[in-house]
Structure 1
Amino acid sequence: MSYKVAIVTGAAAGIGAACSKRLAQDGIAIGVLDLDEARCAETVAAIKQAGGTAIALGADVSHREQASAAVARCRDALGPISILVNNAGITDFTPFEEMTDERWDLIFAINTRGPMILTQLVLKDMKDAGWGRIVNISSSSAQTGAINMVAYSASKGAVVTMTRSMAQEFGPYGITVNNIPPGSVMGTIMSEANRERFQIPTEVLLQTIPVRRMGEPGDIANACAWLCHEASGYVTGQTIGVNGGRVVS
């Protein structure tokens, strides 16, 4: 793969950090973007120590001005962006009857509007190159639903359907768009919040996963790297479940 530039959102830790490091192994320069730029330092340092190229970027993906400034910094430092991983998101456990308009709007702003904004900001670079890869990180909750997670599940369900429509609209320009709905992944902020809230013993949870192990951020990152590769150009509009078989299609 020739020199390419990727932006990965929510990349200070967890799945975003793993995707950043894995893509960097393929020689891709990485814009490591998170809400707090200082928190990106660890991911950037790990990439550089391994011989890769990375820059830390700070922005709230739901605010167009902040996101636009971050993308411009990345483009100035590394070059046109041809890969985008929309990973940034927030979880929520508000019972449906207690959900407020403000909370609903915040969840959709980050989980759904954020990917829309970032995609718009990098699309011209991809069109100009006649090549692009967009990977949206959704959630298995969008496939199954989840108690006390109506807003979160709905926002991630929107990401799934956005992926399908984007794939059809951008395909003629050489741009593929796919989404990965992770299952139970250890070491992420969301998974730990789930475990703490619902107090599900690991041995019980493992009985729901056919491969009988929890996922790791690297499992998602490996699938992401494959979708971003030159060889995956005929794969678009797809939901690539990385969940140990908990959700099958």
Structure 2
Amino acid sequence: MGALDGRVALVTGASRGIGAAIARRLAAEGAAVAVSARTTAADESRFAGTIAETAAAVEAAGGRALAVRADLSRPADRAALVERVEAGLGPVDVLVNNAAVTWFTPVTEFSDKRFALMFEVQVTAPFDLARRVLPGMRARGGGAILNVSSRAAIHPPVTRAGRGGTVYGMCKAAVERFSTGLAAEVHADGVAVNALSPNRVVPTPGTLHHGLTREDDPDAEPPEVMAEAALALCRPRDPLLTGRIAYSQDLLTELGIAVPA
């Protein structure tokens, strides 16, 4: 018996990296997993990984998966995503908002278009998807919403030269405040809402592309650590595990769960 047997999970940004690792881990605990991203074919992105590959990995391990292409910057795609998941797998019990589009550019050089797109995907989309799945969660008496954040949400020292991460940090700070506020709103309904960040940079195609880490970085955090921490926050609700701004390794240590190597 898995911790998520009989439950349906939706993971966005699941074509690679943290999202793909979380999808595989939730599926290993019995969840039927819907994986979503814009990338469905290998030639559609500069980065390796597609939702079809993630779904295939889940199914090869004995799980059940549904790949749904969606551009989360488009409200119509967000609505269609939830409708397709509900039609194909059933009502969503676990929502993991991981999708992101990011540019590291100084404020004075940031275009309006990129600014709007980052907020649409990283802030508005989690807000919208949560609103769409919450009525069902409330009706069933429980559920979990997990918003993937970053240490970029923490205020940087003024004396440290920036790398153009101000807008990214703004998005993640907004997501964290959304998480704690929503957690308070739905606490009585049995729905857990949390934000989760890695303790250290995770080597994914995106972080490698932006030069935030390297493949041989001994201090980097494997994506499986985030996946294990995500599972801990998406299990049937523990009254203490909601409204958290959690950090992966710290959370696992607190709960007495071994940190994956």
Is the TM-score greater than 0.5?
yes
Partner of 1:167: 183
Q: Among 182, 188, 192, which residue is 2:198 paired with?
A: 182
Cα distance between partner residues in 2 of 1:232 and 1:244:
17
Offset at residue 118 of structure 1 (A): 1.1
1:229 aligns with 2:245: no
Distance 1:99 1:157, change over 3 A: same
Contact 1:141 1:156 in 2 (8 A): yes
Offset at residue 83 of structure 1 (A): 0.3
Cα distance between partner residues in 2 of 1:189 and 1:201:
10
Cα distance between partner residues in 1 of 2:147 and 2:222:
18
Offset at residue 188 of structure 1 (A): 1.2
Partner of 1:209: none
Task: Point out the more displaced range, 105-114 or 36-45.
Answer: 36-45
Aligned length: 235
1:129 aligns with 2:140: yes
Offset at residue 84 of structure 1 (A): 0.3
Offset at residue 124 of structure 1 (A): 1.4
Letter in 2 for 1:30: V
Offset at residue 231 of structure 1 (A): 5.4
Unaligned runs of 5+ in 2: 42-49, 157-161, 252-261
The 3-state SS of whatever aligns with 1:176 is strand
Contact 1:164 1:178 in 2 (8 A): yes
Cα distance between partner residues in 1 of 2:240 and 2:69:
33
The 3-state SS of whatever aligns with 1:230 is coil
Letter in 2 for 1:95: P
Letter in 2 for 1:188: T
Q: Could you give the per-residue CA deviations for residues 100-151 of structure 1, whole angstroms, max 9, x where no partner exists? A: 2222111111111110111111111111111010110011111144531111
Q: Could you give the per-residue CA deviations for residues 44-81 of structure 1, whole angstroms, max 9, x where no partner exists? A: 01111111110001111221211111111111111111
Letter in 2 for 1:174: G
Offset at residue 43 of structure 1 (A): 0.6
Partner of 1:44: 55
1:64 aligns with 2:80: no
Cα distance between partner residues in 1 of 2:55 and 2:18:
14
Cα distance between partner residues in 2 of 1:159 and 1:235:
17
Offset at residue 183 of structure 1 (A): 4.1
Task: Point out the more displaced range, 130-139 or 96-105.
Answer: 96-105
Q: Among 4, 8, 33, which residue is 1:5 paired with?
A: 8
Partner of 1:28: 31
Cα distance between partner residues in 1 of 2:215 and 2:237:
40
Higher share in helix? 1
Offset at residue 226 of structure 1 (A): 0.5
Distance 1:244 1:90, change over 3 A: farther
Unaligned runs of 5+ in 1: 207-212
Offset at residue 41 of structure 1 (A): 0.9
Output the aligned Cα RMSD.
Answer: 2.1
The 3-state SS of whatever aligns with 2:54 is helix
Contact 2:35 2:55 in 1 (8 A): yes
TM-score, scaled relative to structure 2: 0.84
Cα distance between partner residues in 2 of 1:89 and 1:50:
27
Cα distance between partner residues in 2 of 1:113 and 1:21:
26
